[in-house]
Amino acid sequence: MPARRTPRRPAAKAPTDGRPGGGTPGADAAEPADPIEPIVSRLLAAIGEDPARAGLARTPHRVAKAYRFMTQGYAQDPAELLNGAVFREDTDEMVVVRDIEVYSLCEHHLVPFFGKAHVGYLPKGRIVGLSKIPRIVDAYARRLQVQERLTSQIARALDQVLAPRGVGVVIEAQHLCMMMRGVEKQNSRAVTSCMLGLFRSDARTRAEFLEFLR
Ligand SMILES: [Zn+2]
């Protein structure tokens, strides 16, 4: 039977994959459909589209994969990410990683916001592998977020694991929910910051950090 694209029907034997009938067109029989897929099909129909037309046939499958990727942060424990890469080091110079790309989803509209994160800390006997800092940013960004919470979660994760003398995080981002709809402001950026320890209490430390971001 070469007709791969015909809807699957229970044959003599009952289906064993537990998939509800009328599954997503084009989904692999071997792989059970992601529960996101039928929801996307319904969304397509609800906005007035025809989920069965050729261009959309695999869209629920693709959207499900995309959302799994964009929300994979829920399955990541940032503290665990950092723990394997903390080193004793007697430096007391500020460490700054700037211009880290951020892609996240606004929890109010499920629409992306994106921009740059700048992360700094003042070590107190412990440093973390530099490549871990963007990974922390991703672990929190790949969830439904508001920019303010994203900013403070990154700062608090570093503060907890490194117990440094201070941490500063600044994020500048553009929100598609503002740009494409609502106020339609194309060039506005939201800037959020979270300063902990000396970054909060000592104006010179904070100024030194902000100087790095110029
Ligand atoms: Zn929004």
Distance 22 CA to ligand 1 centre (A): 33
109 is catalytic: yes
194 is catalytic: no
Q: Do 91 and 134 fall into the same domain? A: yes
Residue 32's pLDDT is 81
Query: What CATH number corresponds to the domain at position 179?
Result: 3.30.1130.10
Q: Give the DSSP per-residue string, 62-107.
A: HHHHHHHHHTGGGG--HHHHHHTTEEE----S-EEEEEEEEEEEET
Q: Do 104 and 201 fall into the same domain? A: yes
Query: In the chain, how many domains are there?
Result: 2
Mean pLDDT along residues 98-112:
97
Residue 111's pLDDT is 95
Distance 145 CA to ligand 1 centre (A): 9
Residue 48 per-residue DSSP state: T
Q: Do 174 and 83 fall into the same domain? A: yes
Distance 88 CA to ligand 1 centre (A): 41
Residue 119 lies in a domain: yes
Residue 21 lies in a domain: no
According to DSSP, the β-strands at 86-88 and 112-122 are unpaired
Residue 174's pLDDT is 96
Residue 41's pLDDT is 97
Residue 19's pLDDT is 42
pLDDT digits (tens, 9 = 90+) for 8-62: 434 444 444 444 444 445 445 567 889 999 999 999 999 999 999 999 999 999 9
Residue 57 lies in a domain: yes
Residue 151 lies in a domain: yes
Residue 108's pLDDT is 96
Q: Do 184 and 100 fall into the same domain? A: yes
- Nearest-angstrom CA–CA distance, 205 and 213: 13
Question: Which tokens in the block code for residue 13?
Answer: 């034997």
Which of 13, 46, 70 terminates a domain? The answer is: 70
Mean pLDDT along residues 95-121:
97
Tell me which residue range forms the domain holding 91. Answer: 79-212
**Residue 144 pLDDT greater than 70, yes or no:** yes
pLDDT digits (tens, 9 = 90+) for 121-136: 999 999 999 999 999 9
Q: Do 167 and 204 fall into the same domain? A: yes
Residue 28 lies in a domain: no
Residue 202 · residue 165 · CB < 8 Å: no
Distance 176 CA to ligand 1 centre (A): 7
108 is catalytic: yes
61 is catalytic: no
Mean pLDDT along residues 137-149:
98
Residue 2 lies in a domain: no
pLDDT digits (tens, 9 = 90+) for 168-197: 999 999 999 988 887 777 788 999 999 999
Helix ranges (DSSP H) in the chain? 36-46, 59-70, 78-83, 132-141, 147-162, 176-179, 198-201, 203-212
If one counts every other C-beta atom within 10 angstroms of the C-beta of residue 95, the result is 18
Residue 20 lies in a domain: no
Q: Do 93 and 153 fall into the same domain? A: yes
**Of these residues, 49, 109, 174, 208, which one is catalytic?**
109
Residue 28's pLDDT is 53
Q: Do 105 and 149 fall into the same domain? A: yes
Confidence band of 99 (pLDDT split at 50, 70, 90): very high
